Amino acid sequence: MLNNVFRHILVVMSLVVMVLFSGCFTTSTHTAAPPMIKHSGDVPTAAMIPIINSYEQTTADFVTQYLEACLKDRNVFKFAPKTDVDKAVAASGFNLSKIFGLSASEYAALAKTLGVDYVIHGVVVVKKTLLFTGWRKDVDLAIRIYDGRTGSKVDSWRSMTDFAWTKNATALDAQKMAESAANHTCSKMMQRGY
């Protein structure tokens, strides 16, 4: 009986230690940028359409920025300038807020306007939960790449990242979450050849 009591106390103490030493920021994925391995030779062109989020657009904007920079720095794609992409999207009148993205013909039209081989688009969802130990946010990033000629989906990636804070979120948290999710997705995208 004494052995069972001791075992129970040990389990409770282990849980308390895990909570105390978990830190104010944890994630299930690598927060560091992927290795700076540059692809050699000519690379295809792409347009990064702004990633959408209905409730936390700041996080989505950061993800768009970080993901494009990561892929560009590693010479995976040569990207159309952001100003050109923004103009083409505005002129098209396409509804980017659709959760399942645009139609194949709409992606093909954007690619033709921008003169690119691929269109990259996606959605990020951030769920916020108050736990006993503080705030938790789950970031679900879904990125898809579309063929510029047909508009059909070529590939897709999903990154599930969870974060915990002992205090309320700040604007900096959105940047940290976006960077981690973008780095995780970028490392997956680097493994494919286009």
**pLDDT tens per residue, the chain (194 residues)?**
555 555 545 444 444 443 333 333 333 444 567 676 776 778 999 999 999 886 778 888 999 999 999 999 999 999 999 999 999 999 999 988 877 889 999 999 999 999 999 999 999 887 777 767 666 677 788 999 999 999 999 999 888 776 665 555 555 577 887 888 888 888 888 887 77
Predicted pLDDT of residue 191: 81
Nearest partner of 159 among 185, 121, 192, judged by Cα:
185
Task: Tell me how far the alpha carbon of residue 39 is from its chain's centroid.
Answer: 21
Nearest-angstrom CA–CA distance, 7 and 185:
42
Nearest-angstrom CA–CA distance, 99 and 42:
33
Task: Give me the phi and psi of 105, to 5 degrees please.
Answer: -65, -30
Predicted pLDDT of residue 188: 85
Helix, strand and coil in the chain, % to nearest 5:
40, 25, 35
First to last CA, the chain: 64
Predicted pLDDT of residue 30: 47
User: Which listed CATH number (3.40.50.10610, 3.30.420.40, 3.40.605.10, 3.30.460.80) goes with 24-189?
Assistant: 3.40.50.10610
At 178, the amino acid letter reads A
Name the H helices within the chain.
Answer: 2-20, 57-73, 82-92, 104-114, 171-189
Task: Give me the phi and psi of 65, to 5 degrees please.
Answer: -65, -50
Provide the pairing of β-strand 78-79 with 45-48.
Answer: parallel
Evaluate the CA torsion angle 188, 90, 104, 152 in order and state its sign. negative
Nearest-angstrom CA–CA distance, 13 and 36:
42
